[in-house]
A and B are shown apart, each in its own frame.
Chain A
Amino acid sequence: MVATLAAAMLVAVASQRQTDTTFAVPAGASLSVNNFGGGITVHAWSENRVKVHGDVGRRGRVEVSLVGNTVVVKTGSREGAPSVIDLDITVPRSMGLTLGGTYADVTVEGVQGPISAETVNGEINVRGGKGIITLHSIQGSVTLADASGRIEVNSVNEAIELSNVTGEIKVETTNGEVTLTGIQSSSVDAGTINGDVVYEGTVTDGGSYSFGSHNGDITVSIPERANVTVTVATANGDIDASFPLPMTSTAGRHRKTFKIGTGSARMELESFQGDIELRRPQEIRERIDEHKRDHHNDNDNDHDSDRDTSFSSHFDAGTWDYAARYAKAYAPKYAKAYAPLYARTYARTYARTYKRAYRDTDTTSH
């Protein structure tokens, strides 16, 4: 243990632009990382050691210590404003993680322990995780795949996507879509204010499922042999199902209850402005695959599939005139609609580009 402590009590002050340290950790140790800006990437390996690699630039520093049974990694700056530091950490597969940052993107790959990740301006992408998993971001999308346990995921201004996740699930964002696919759960609670909600997963007898949106559509899969009582409520939307729905009660024109099979599970579907769709799992999977294909074919990254929009120029002058007037009339409206939609994406892309440029300048100018 003494050797472990000695190895772990490292203070990797970066006189060089990178820091790289590897040390053994006691069984059951956890990892706590706090990185103000940059990236936190965590990989898993089968060894009982932790490897910390950091791109620290000229002013940055990385401190690694063992506090109790927790490996603590902190970043800082030796002078002036906080540095942008990218951390790449490799940990034992079952290690528990607590990862925090302000302008930090968080990526976790292959860890099979509890995970807590919180950032303000950054994406969180996690593959793996077991036990209590909490992922929170304000301005950044959150994705979680191949995880199991008690899951709580929040964003504010971006989308949330969960795939192949098992366990109790609570998901909430304000301005973004919620997409849950390949879910195995008896308890799911997912909501957004401004975005669609899609659920493709199990509906277990006795389970509880709640999906809500204010401005978006709700689409859920109901397996053929499901036993579920579905309560559907919408103020201004429509309700549609691709199979017969045996209605058992209705409370006003806004709320309807359907009993499918024995009605053992409970499902609440609520959207103020949007439509509510009940589909078979295969339908949703096909729709998602199609969406991914469209996105994949979207070569110019404008979030709109690139179809053949070319047309021959044998229109007469009247048609061109109409098109010109149409464009003039609607361009400002579309510009206004697209600007907020794409500003975030471009802002993030540019931020990354300039972050690198700034760091390179920072390291070469001294």
Chain B
Amino acid sequence: MNDLWTNRLSEYLDGELDSAERAALEAHLATCGACYATLSELRGVVAYAKTLVDSEPATDLWPDIRARLTPGQRPGVSPPGTVRSRRFSFTVPQLLAASIALVLLSSGGAYMALRPGTSKVTPQPAAVRQQGIMTVANVDRGTTDAAIADLQATLTQNESRLDTTTVRIVRQNLAIIDRAIVEARIALQKDPGNAYLNLHLADTMRRKVELLRRVNDIAAQS
């Protein structure tokens, strides 16, 4: 996978590439299954994100925002033709983290994963975002780790609602996934720029989230 192209997929999706760039990217897409697959995932995430209902912030954030704006600029009033539609730009790890977040959001596990004090998504300055795939990947995986820890804590609380066989099977399978995660992480330490390993690790973590969520759902229904 070519990071240069991968990081421009969201611009492509938003129609913000010029015709030459678009043609070059489309030529690349014709030969790169990974970018093509990523584009499909990205389309799915954007489509899903658009279906989410905007919620009001708990407090009025506007005074703070206004205070930080450069004096002289008039927020909220854009010159004609400069209004930009809301767009979503992701790197691959961010995209996968978003996928995991959507998994969480689509279930009752979201409450546990996103409740105050856990699984906080720390805003990152632009400089950090530009530091490369591993930096971003580690930050996003930290968030996923927190979500996993939270779901696991919930499962520990709810285990008594499941029979011992199911608990044992689930633990065995979580151990299998954990082993896969460790192996992928070790491989990634040796080869940090490997896009396949990045994606594989993220996908394996997603599977752990999904298994925990599913078992928590079953426990909740028991």
Contact = CB atoms under 8 A, between A and B. Distances in A.
Chain A partners chain B: yes
A266 B32 CA distance: 9
A231 interface: yes
B183 A174 contact: no
B218 A272 contact: no
A249 B32 contact: yes
A194 interface: yes
A210 B203 CA distance: 13
B136 interface: no
B31 A121 contact: no
Interface in A263-318: 263, 266-268, 270, 272-273
B177 A249 contact: no
A254 B184 CA distance: 13
A172 B211 CA distance: 11
A214 B180 contact: yes
Contact of A254 (B40, B180, B196, B214): B196
Contacts of A174: 173, 176-177, 207, 211
Given A156-B170, A157-B169, A208 B40 contact: yes
Contacts of B173: 156-157, 174-175
A210 B194 contact: no
A175 B176 contact: yes
A9 interface: no
A20 B44 CA distance: 48
Contacts of B207: 172, 174, 191, 193
A109 to B, nearest CB: 27
B215 A138 contact: yes
Contact of A121 (B2, B165, B204): B165
A194 B176 contact: yes
B30 to A, nearest CB: 7
A249 B200 contact: no
B98 interface: no
* Chain B, interface SS category: helix
A345 interface: no
Assign chain B's interface to a size class.
35 or more
Interface string A223-242: 00000011101010000000
A252 interface: yes
Interface string B1-39: 110000000000000000000000000001111101100
Identify which of B169, B194, B195 gathers the most chain A CB atoms within 10 Å of its CB.
Answer: B169
B189 interface: no
A172 B103 CA distance: 15
A352 interface: no
Contacts of B1: 251, 255
Contacts of A272: 180, 183-184, 187, 200
B172 interface: yes
* Chain A, interface SS category: strand
A24 interface: no
A212 interface: yes
Interface in A186-238: 191, 193-194, 208, 210, 212, 214-215, 229-231, 233, 235
Given A174-B207, A231-B32, A251-B1, A270 B196 contact: yes
A59 B211 CA distance: 35
A268 B33 contact: yes
Contact of A257 (B32, B170, B176, B211): B32
Nearest to A172: B207
A230 B207 CA distance: 24
B31 A257 contact: yes
Contacts of B2: 251
Contact of A263 (B30, B34, B176, B222): B30
A74 interface: no
Contacts of B149: none
B196 to A, nearest CB: 4
Contacts of B166: 120-121, 138-139
Nearest to A252: B194
B112 interface: no
B191 A252 contact: yes
A16 to B, nearest CB: 30
Given A120-B166, A231-B33, 6 more contacts: A156-B170, A214-B180, A214-B200, A255-B1, A255-B34, A266-B37
7 contacts: A121-B166, A138-B214, A174-B207, A235-B200, A251-B195, A252-B196, A254-B196
Interface of A: 102, 120-121, 136, 138-139, 156-157, 172, 174-175, 191, 193-194, 208, 210, 212, 214-215, 229-231, 233, 235, 248-249, 251-252, 254-255, 257, 259, 263, 266-268, 270, 272-273
> Which 7 pairs between the two chains have the least Cβ-Cβ distance?
A231-B33, A233-B196, A214-B180, A174-B173, A266-B33, A139-B169, A157-B169
